[in-house]
Chain A
Amino acid sequence: MSGFQTNSRVIKWIEYRMPVFSFLNHSIGAGYPAPKNLSYMWNFGSLAGFTLVIMIVTGILLAMQYTAHVDYAFDSVERIMRDVNFGWLLRYIHMNGASFFFIVVYIHMFRGLYYGSYKAPRELLWILGVVILLLMMMTAFMGYVLPWGQMSFWGAKVITNLFSAVPIFGEGIVTWLWGGFTVDNPTLNRFYALHYLMPFVIVAVVVLHIWALHQFGSNNPLGIDPKGPQDKIPFHPYYTAKDSFGMGVFLIVFAAVIFYLPNYMGHPDNYIPADPLATPAHIVPEWYFLPFYAILRAIPDKLLGVIAMFGSIAVLFVLPWLDRSPVKSGRFRPIFRIFFVLLAIDVVVLGFVGANPPEGAWLITGQIATFWYFLHFLVVLPLLGVFERPKPLPTSISEPVLKGGGSLAGAPAKPMEKA
């Protein structure tokens, strides 16, 4: 029961029959002890859950007005924008919410990468996170098809066509995915059905992700295990208060984009109705796919390109076994930190490459960046685990400053996170 107490008779009555309150208390309440030194970087997990809820709520409301048919989809979106009460707001929230969901999740992932949150005993937690990322990508991709603009159509065509690279069965798979011989009404219908279904699959995996999280609790900026009650504070009210503040900051940025730059992250071509006979000059996916798109196009061979693109995510699944360093936090890994920054730059470079046609300098840059991406995970991380000499770790979260024994001069651990 984690010491759950109440005086309310109603709550006691329910609690006796179904212990939902002690469950909540244990999940996100006072009964869940968390490390006391979590920085603001730890806000992005709950923020991702919050964004998921925003997407589901706005999505359901939009679904009440949307028509999944090639002849009416574009018109129905315009009707939402013009005639539905606050339809423009719902649609701009949903459209930009996808981008913000990815921003939040990418930050959440880079935080995990830096602080070694994927290491034992949190491997499954990390893997479930990568599963969520994959589900998100599928959902976002199919959602982008629904307005049935030019980029919707041609993006769907290009991405589904990737499966034609599969030997022997390729063409058959693509026809099966399309439900016909080109991207057409059956494709739109099934994408809509799946786009509605997938978020609930994501919710299910999020539950598993949180379940796995609660087994050992959050990692922390020092990457060492809490040694006792003095290293922990209850999730509520401490982290509920901190996460709420972070959510406020997030909403300010989100609202600024929704109300003042709603089409900034979109592509103008998607305000042109889909035309199967007119190919846009440049087919570009949404920004959050650009690094992966760059990896796809860096390799001249179609099948190998597809394999590399999926491999760039597959490598994340085995990350806990590639990085063998016993030290979790990047703070105590002087060389790892340099490579971490290089990886972040590399991914950004890949993003820019993905936005540009694969020619000349862009192609070569893309190839180098792709090579570096895989080199980082497959060679650099395993080698660092062997050759890197980590800085001495603090003895506990409450006493992070080492007393003697620190052979590396001038390497005092950082004082605790400011509240």
Chain B
Amino acid sequence: MRKGLLFGLAALAASASLPLAGPAVAAEEGPALPKLEWSFDGPFGTYDRQSLQRGLQVYREVCSSCHGLKYVAFRNLADLGYSEDEIKAFAAEYTVTDGPDDDGEMFERPGAASDYFPAPFPNEKAAAAANSGAVPPDLSLMAKARAGGADHIHGILTGYEDLVPDAVLQSIFEHETMKNEEKYEADLAEYNDKLEAYNDKVEAGEQARRPLEPVQPQPIESIEDLGLAEVSNFNAYFPGYGIAMAQPLYEDGVAYADGTPATIDQMAADVSHFLMWAAEPKLEDRKGAGIKVLIFLVVFTGVLYAAKRKVWKDVH
């Protein structure tokens, strides 16, 4: 007899457990992001120190010329497995503006461990001016600020025209062609209704404006047909397919210190891994504590259940 209530509550619970934000995020639907296996996935996930270090190298040698990392301090690089001396040496390679000194002048000094990664541009206007109007976003939180997280970053870095498989391109063309056709059908139906109203008015001798007939769309067969803005580059995984950033990674663009071959996919995966760490540096602490907390709670709840059973055994 309680089925009704239980069912209703189950439905409520289901509503809470479904990714409600999903459909809204997926509104700019494109091809599905390729899902990589990340070492930080899952309840026991940890960061791969080697990959983080390689990712830092990619960030420093490629991304950092345009993208900031303002929430990450050099001291945080200890998480990547660097020693204090290594971090000090690393920080000293950067020049930081400090001050004002006792004479009221700003001055430059080598970076210290307590400094944050310096911004690539002095201000947003400078960033926009140097990048044909598009401000390169700060990357500190990128892995949490986009649906898909690290997969999204990896997807963007490998989503350029020459890098994506033909099948993905074809699926985009088909999808966009279908969308255009659907829109055309809807426009045509609206046009026919308007035309009818127009004809009625003309017959009645009223003033009316002839509606414009929609143009039948051409099937999309190439990237040119997508009609991206002049300054945009095609990217299969960017909303709307047009991204201001030119393809940043090229084969062997970075000479990895550990000798790992610097393929585009490798560099993309490493820098995505690194940016996941930058966005969620406490992930290992969190997952490590989680398992202890859960074990404690399960045992403790078991004790509470036993206590409850004992207290209630004479009630009937």
Q: Answer whether residue B312 sits at the interface, using C-beta atoms and an 8 A cutoff.
A: yes
Q: Answer whether residue B294 sits at the interface, using C-beta atoms and an 8 A cutoff.
A: yes
Kindly state the separation between the CA atoms of A259 and B285 in the bound complex, as whole angstroms.
Answer: 9
Q: Answer whether residue B290 sits at the interface, using C-beta atoms and an 8 A cutoff.
A: yes
Q: Answer whether residue B122 sits at the interface, using C-beta atoms and an 8 A cutoff.
A: no
Identity of the chain B residue whose Cβ is nearest the Cβ of A411 in the assembled complex: B1
Kindly state the separation between the CA atoms of A252 and B15 in the bound complex, as whole angstroms.
Answer: 19
Decide: A82 and B282 in contact? CB cutoff 8 A. Answer: yes
Q: Render A32-75 as a binary contact track against B, CB cut-off 8 A, 1 for contact.
A: 00001001010000000000000000000000000000000001
Decide: B312 and A356 in contact? CB cutoff 8 A. Answer: no
Q: Answer whether residue A330 sits at the interface, using C-beta atoms and an 8 A cutoff.
A: yes
Chain B positions within 8 Å of A, measured between CB atoms, are: 1-2, 4-5, 7-9, 11-16, 18-25, 27-28, 43, 71, 76, 137, 140-141, 144-147, 239, 279, 281-282, 285-287, 289-291, 293-294, 297-298, 300-301, 304-305, 307-309, 311-313, 315-316
Kindly state the separation between the CA atoms of A68 and B5 in the bound complex, as whole angstroms.
Answer: 43
Residue of B239, B287, B291, B301 most packed against chain A (CB within 10 A): B301
Residue of A81, A259, A348, A356 most packed against chain B (CB within 10 A): A259
Decide: A259 and B286 in contact? CB cutoff 8 A. Answer: yes
**Which of B14, B19, B289, B304 interacts with A248 by CB under 8 Å?**
B304
Identity of the chain B residue whose Cβ is nearest the Cβ of A244 in the assembled complex: B304
Other than the given A39-B2, A251-B297, A281-B28, 15 more pairs (CB < 8 A) read: A78-B71, A110-B12, A238-B311, A238-B312, A245-B305, A255-B290, A255-B293, A259-B294, A271-B144, A281-B27, A281-B239, A344-B8, A352-B15, A355-B22, A356-B24
Q: Answer whether residue A320 sits at the interface, using C-beta atoms and an 8 A cutoff.
A: no
Q: Residues of A contacting B1 with CB < 8 Å?
A: 331, 414
Identity of the chain A residue whose Cβ is nearest the Cβ of B282 in the assembled complex: A88
Q: How many residues of A contact B (CB 8 A)?
A: 69
Decide: A88 and B285 in contact? CB cutoff 8 A. Answer: yes
Q: Render A240-271 as a binary contact track against B, CB cut-off 8 A, 1 for contact.
A: 01101101110110011011101111011101
Q: Residues of B contacting A241 with CB < 8 Å?
A: 304, 307-308, 311-312
| Nearest 5 interchain pairs by C-beta | A259-B290, A248-B301, A344-B8, A271-B145, A337-B4
Kindly state the separation between the CA atoms of A419 and B7 in the bound complex, as whole angstroms.
Answer: 21
Q: Residues of B contacting A248 with CB < 8 Å?
A: 297, 300-301, 304-305
Q: Answer whether residue A340 sits at the interface, using C-beta atoms and an 8 A cutoff.
A: yes
Kindly state the separation between the CA atoms of A296 and B141 in the bound complex, as whole angstroms.
Answer: 33
Q: Residues of A contacting B141 with CB < 8 Å?
A: 78, 271-272
Q: Residues of B contacting A92 with CB < 8 Å?
A: 286
Stretch at the interface among A175-183, A282-290, A299-307: A282-290
**Which of A238, A265, A268, A337 interacts with B147 by CB under 8 Å?**
A268
A117 to chain B, nearest CB (A): 12
Decide: A264 and B19 in contact? CB cutoff 8 A. Answer: yes
Kindly state the separation between the CA atoms of A51 and B312 in the bound complex, as whole angstroms.
Answer: 25
Kindly state the separation between the CA atoms of A378 and B2 in the bound complex, as whole angstroms.
Answer: 25
Q: Answer whether residue A338 sits at the interface, using C-beta atoms and an 8 A cutoff.
A: yes
**Which of A41, A233, A244, A256 interacts with B294 by CB under 8 Å?**
A256
Decide: B15 and A351 in contact? CB cutoff 8 A. Answer: yes
Q: Answer whether residue A237 sits at the interface, using C-beta atoms and an 8 A cutoff.
A: yes
16 contacts between A and B (CB under 8 A): A88-B285, A103-B12, A103-B16, A110-B5, A241-B308, A245-B307, A245-B308, A248-B301, A249-B301, A255-B294, A268-B25, A268-B146, A287-B15, A330-B5, A344-B12, A354-B20
